[in-house]
Amino acid sequence: MGKRIMAVDDSKTMRDMVSFTLKGAGYDVLVADDGVNALSALVGEDVDLIITDVNMPNMNGIELVQKLRSDPRFRATPILILTTESDDSLKQQGRAAGATGWIVKPFVPEKLLKVVNKVCA
């Protein structure tokens, strides 16, 4: 497939699971543990999709989405945020920041792949 996805989450378990699921489906996966590191990793690297958690130290997911959207390289890159159902305001914030969609944690692998397929295939 050749598509690259960046997954950003401060939980190693989450990173591992997302990475595993996506790699298993043939995607190339980059990971980062917070927004700051994600941005540095993206210097000189292009990705086809960014999946990010919201609650992270140093730079939360919403801020990351904002920064990505203001970068010409990622203006039109699909961005999914990982959120939990109890965070309705967070979805709104993500929306306002320019995120393409959201996935609720915890998720089953099939769902992740389905959503990923929907935005980037």
Partner 1 sequence: MLPAAHDDPFAQFKVTFFEECSELLADMEQHLADLESGSYENETLHAIFRAVHSIKAGAGAFSFSRLVTFSHKFEYLLDELRTGKLTADDGLVETLFRSFDILSDLVGFAQNGEAPDEDYGQGALDQISGYLNGETVTAAAASADEPEANIPEASIPVESAEAASEAAGQSPDADKNGLKHFRIEFTPREAMYRHANEPLLIIRELKDLGKTETTIDTSRLPALHIMEPEDAYFSWVFDLWTEYGRDEVDEVFEFVIDDCDLTIVTLDDNNNVVEVDVSPGLDSGEDSGFGFFVSDDKLSAGEVSDAPPAEAVAEKTASGLVVEPDVKKASVSATPEGAVQKPAAPAAAGPGAAPKASSIRVDVDRVDRLVNMVGELVITQSMLAQEVENSTIPPTDRVFTGMDELSTHIRDLQEDVMSIRMQPVKSVFSRMPRIVRDVSKKLGKKVKLITEGESTEVDKTVIEELADPLTHMIRNSLDHGLETPAERLEAGKTEEGSIRLSAEHRGGRIVIEIADDGRGINREKVLHLAREKGVVSEDATLSNNEIDNLIFAPGFSTADEVTDLSGRGVGMDVVRRNIQTLGGRVSVHSQPGAGTRFQLTLPLTLAVLDGMIVSVAGEKFVVPISSILETVRPPEDDVERMVDGSCVVRIRGEYIPVVPTARVFNFAGGEQDPSKGLVILAETEGGRVVGLLVDELSGQQQVVIKSLETNYKAVQGIASATILGNGSVCLILDVDALAKMPALIPAGTMNSNIHKNMAAQVAAE
List of residues contacting partner 1 (CB under 8 A): 10-14, 16-17, 20-21, 24, 33-34, 36-37, 39-40, 42-43, 55-58, 67, 70-73, 75-79, 84-86, 91, 94-96, 98-111, 114-115, 117-121
Of residues 28 and 55, the one with the C-beta less far from partner 1: 55
Kindly state the helix (H) or strand (E) to which residue 63 belongs, with its residue range.
Answer: helix 61-69
CA dihedral (8, 57, 71, 27) in degrees, to 10, reads 0
Burial class (CB in 10 A: 0-12, 13-18, 19+), 53: buried
Nearest approach, Cβ of residue 103 and partner 1 (Å):
5
Nearest 5°: phi and psi at 109? -55, -40
Nearest approach, Cβ of residue 15 and partner 1 (Å):
9
Of residues 10 and 29, the one with the C-beta less far from partner 1: 10
Of residues 30 and 36, the one with the C-beta less far from partner 1: 36
What amino acid is encoded at 23 in this protein?
Answer: K
What amino acid is encoded at 84 in this protein?
Answer: T
Of residues 29 and 56, the one with the C-beta less far from partner 1: 56
